[in-house]
Chains A and B, each alone.
Chain A
Amino acid sequence: LAKTTQPISMDSYEGQEVNITCSHNNIATNDYITWYQQFPSQGPRFIIQGYKTKVTNEVASLFIPADRKSSTLSLPRVSLSDTAVYYCLVGDLTGKLIFGQGTTLQVKP
C-alpha cells in the first residue's frame, strides 16, 4: 500500500475554496485514491474516490494528474461545519483502509 503525505493542518475562511494536496509517489497501477472526513468523536465519512483525471460529486472534487503521484481534494465554498480532519488513502481495493495522520482543516468565520 502506497504511503501518503498530507499537510498536518490548514486554515481557511468561510466561503473560500479549499484545496488539500496529498502526495503518493509509490502509487501502484491498481491503486485508487480515496478521501475521508472525520469530525471529533465520530467515525470517518467517505467523501470521494478516483483513479485518474477528475471526479466530482455533490460534496467535493478530486483532481488527479496523469502521473498519479499526487491528488488534490477541492472543497468549494467551505463553511464552519467543514472544520474536520481529512484523510487521503491509497490502495488496491482489497478492503483494508490505511489511514495516515490526515489534514486538520480549520474554517474560520
Chain B
Amino acid sequence: KAGVTQTPRYLIKTRGQQVTLSCSPISGHRSVSWYQQTPGQGLQFLFEYFSETQRNKGNFPGRFSGRQFSNSRSEMNVSTLELGDSALYLCASSLALGGESYEQYFGPGTRLTVT
C-alpha cells in the first residue's frame, strides 16, 4: 500500500507570496492532519480534516488554511508568507478521527523556504 505523499518536496518563495501544499493520504484513510516543524518550535499541530471538515485546529494565524476533498486528499495554503514560515510541513493520515489510536502515518514533508 502506498504511503502518504506530499508535493512538492521543496519550495522556495519570497515574502508576501502565497503557497499551496498538497497531501495524498494512504488509501482508505479519511483523516488528514498538518504539522509545522522548525528547529526552534519543534513539531506543532496546524489542523486536522475528516470527511472534508476541519475537526481540530492549532494555534496558528488565519494565514494558514486548509481543505480536504471528497477523495480525502488535502491541501494547505499559507498566504502573505513571512520569513518565519520557513519550515518542514508534514502531513499525516489515519483511518479514523482519533477515537481509537494515535497512530498516524506521516509523509516525507514539504520543505518551504521563504526568502
B57-81 interface bits toward A, Cβ cutoff 8 Å, 1 = contact, 0 = none: 0100000000000000000000000
For chain A, the bracket of interface size reads 20 to 34
Add 12 more A-B contacts to A43-B109, A95-B48, A95-B97 (CB < 8 A). Answer: A43-B92, A43-B107, A44-B90, A93-B99, A93-B100, A93-B102, A94-B97, A94-B98, A95-B99, A96-B33, A96-B58, A97-B102
What are 8 A-B pairs with beta-carbon distances under 8 A? A32-B102, A42-B106, A44-B90, A49-B102, A92-B98, A95-B56, A96-B45, A97-B92
- The secondary-structure label for the interface of chain B is strand
Inside 8 A of A43's CB, which chain B residues have their CB? 4, 90, 92, 106-109
**Residue of A whose beta carbon sits closest to that of B90:** A43
A43-B90, A43-B92, A102-B42 known; A95 and B106 CB under 8 Å? no
B43 / chain A contacts, CB cutoff of 8 Å: 44, 87, 97, 99
Interface set of A (CB-CB < 8 Å, partner B): 32, 34, 41-46, 49, 87, 89, 91-102
What chain A residues lie within 8 Å of B92 (beta carbons)? 43-44, 97
| Residue among A45, A92, A97 with the highest chain B CB neighbour number at 10 A | A97
Q: In the complex, A43→B56 CA distance in Å? A: 20
Task: Please give the distance in Å from B67's CB to the nearest CB on chain A.
Answer: 17
